[in-house]
A and B are shown apart, each in its own frame.
Chain A
């Protein structure tokens, strides 16, 4: 319970910091959400409530924006987020086998977070490095030309 309250306060503090950074301008809502998403790893409800009251934007509108963009998460994510490219160029280069190896290893479906809180698996559209497909991103790291055999080694790099 104490842990949770601390979290809530942190969320509100982070939200305030982000709003201040962009001087509370309504058209900067997306950069503000981006900042919170970067700091916390997702955009918690408490942060949205705080933005709403500080910037006089209805909460419904904030939720609608936060849920629209693929880079924003509205639920707690794992410590590491995997973005796997499911676009056609990677598909032609053999991403299906790699993806199967990944889901088997993690025992996760796209959109799920592992029960130990380590991994969140998401699929994404093109990451713009198609000449080295199949491609996936783990947090900020991009891996290209991946084969199914490389999956265990790549995952082992993360704590």
Chain B
């Protein structure tokens, strides 16, 4: 297949159609042919973008220029100028440079991709992570100074609530509200914990922050301590992240020497001590109550909730637990204000998100972009397209506990509410992009094998359910499945969700649910025709056919 040099997307939501989108699309087909460009430029329709004020509109990649609202008669000029001659037609560009949600295109900083907006990774890769001086020169500890000298603790919490910052660990709980819970619980002792046990497969955003800018986490934890009334903190970091551990230890020592940690910080009377706890290899310890058990020196088995850690956490004291990426947003919000933060992203999900791009694409790696970007945009702009011009089949978002998303949902803006409305989860920000060479049964088998391996074994649904689901999937992949297995998988998925004790078990069934929802025919083909359409599964138990 020949490489296409450009991609043209024409909006096709009901509003666009009412405004003549179909005619615009037809004109594009005609004009591309008449300029003999139809072989080098792909044309497709886009759904689910809520930009009614500029519809019908057209996005041209790789430049990512948006034209709209367009009339059919505009198309000839547009094709001739932009696609044939290569000049952007600025007078036809959409008035607001709106892509999806409220993404605005920012001028690219050196070393970043177009539209990247760096907040949590603003210093990563630019400063020397082993130098506190570098951090301070780049606005480091400025927010801490401001908080300790100018702000009351409840003002910090109000500011966070106003900023709409939501937890970046996966669940998306409003951070300010969580801080408020801990601040509002009376106790002689409270703790702040940074959850750096990043083990969700495909996710390495926290590692980039910890390795590239360790002081940003320390600063945020001292601020958190002040806001909620805690004077001791733990960073629980996974055992495999040895470089991040070394850099954090070094950063903590530097912060102690400079007086940012310890007694009477900035002469404010605020005291804060920070410890590192190194994990010993257990995915489940990313679950907050399992993490607490692990710090206490026990097996990392989740507790029953409620009570929540905000009231009964580490050593049974009120405890604030935040993810690394969440904490990395704190100092920028304090320095620049809630309005600034809300200017990025969508109304329901303010700020940016770090995504890790993986799978069958041309460029893998990490990006930090405003919330609300779509999967199609990520693939076209940042992943530089699918490898070997393959067709997107599905994306697995948020690591193993996320969702399997079929290609027809690739235009849903990636923010908490849009994803929830579409019945999928965004999770940790991992985007595993899969071509049609991926078999859903095989993928689900790998995911369930993971959960089977990582289940802590405390509660039955998770310990037994994952094992059983894995066995059934293995059977199907060998061509030995029966149609009843589909119901069994559906039931296991439901029971896992409804009866497991913690988030691991509750989400373990989602790959099952998703493949039955979106790819049922493919699973059935393994059972009825005894064929793996993608040609991946061994089908070794396949009985010989006689005809």
Contact = CB atoms under 8 A, between A and B. Distances in A.
Nearest to B432: A89
B207 interface: yes
Contacts of A129: 204
Contact of B297 (A30, A124, A128, A140): A30
A54 to B, nearest CB: 14
A87 B204 contact: no
A70 B280 contact: yes
Contacts of A126: 199-203, 399
B541 interface: no
B356 A130 contact: yes
A68 B366 CA distance: 32
B300 A34 contact: no
A71 B201 contact: no
A5 to B, nearest CB: 29
A27 B297 contact: yes
A89 B199 CA distance: 13
A86 B204 contact: no
Contacts of A70: 280-282
Interface stretch (B104-112, B224-232, B368-376, B446-454): B446-454
Contacts of B447: 88
A82 B432 CA distance: 25
Most buried by B among A27, A29, A125: A125
Interface in B401-437: 430, 432, 434
Contacts of B319: none
B39 interface: no
Contact of B360 (A92, A125, A130): A92
Contacts of A64: 299
Nearest to A71: B281
Nearest to B431: A89
A65 B298 contact: yes
B95 interface: no
Nearest to B240: A127
A72 interface: yes
B50 interface: no
B358 A130 contact: yes
A77 to B, nearest CB: 14
B280 A92 contact: no
A125 B297 contact: no
B28 interface: no
A89 B201 contact: yes
Given A87-B201, A87-B202, A89-B201, A128 B241 contact: yes
A30 B450 contact: no
Contacts of A34: 239, 278, 280
B290 to A, nearest CB: 10
Contact of A131 (B240, B299, B366, B449): B366
Given A27-B295, A126-B201, A130-B202, A88 B280 contact: no
A45 interface: no
Contacts of B278: 31, 34
A89 B430 contact: yes
B199 to A, nearest CB: 6
A34 B298 CA distance: 13
B296 interface: yes
A91 B432 CA distance: 11
A65 B281 CA distance: 12
Nearest to B282: A69
Nearest to B396: A88
B242 interface: yes
Interface string A58-89: 00000011001111100000000000001111
Give the 5 A-B residue pairs with the shortest CB-CB distance, closest first.
Answer: A70-B281, A87-B201, A71-B281, A69-B280, A126-B201
Interface of A: 26-31, 33-34, 64-65, 68-72, 86-89, 91-93, 123-133, 140
Interface of B: 198-204, 207, 238-242, 277-283, 294-300, 356-360, 364-366, 396, 399-400, 430, 432, 434, 438, 443, 446-447, 449-450, 453-454, 456
10 contacts: A27-B296, A34-B278, A69-B280, A87-B201, A87-B400, A87-B446, A92-B358, A92-B432, A129-B204, A130-B356
Given A92-B434, A125-B454, 4 more contacts: A69-B279, A71-B281, A89-B358, A130-B356
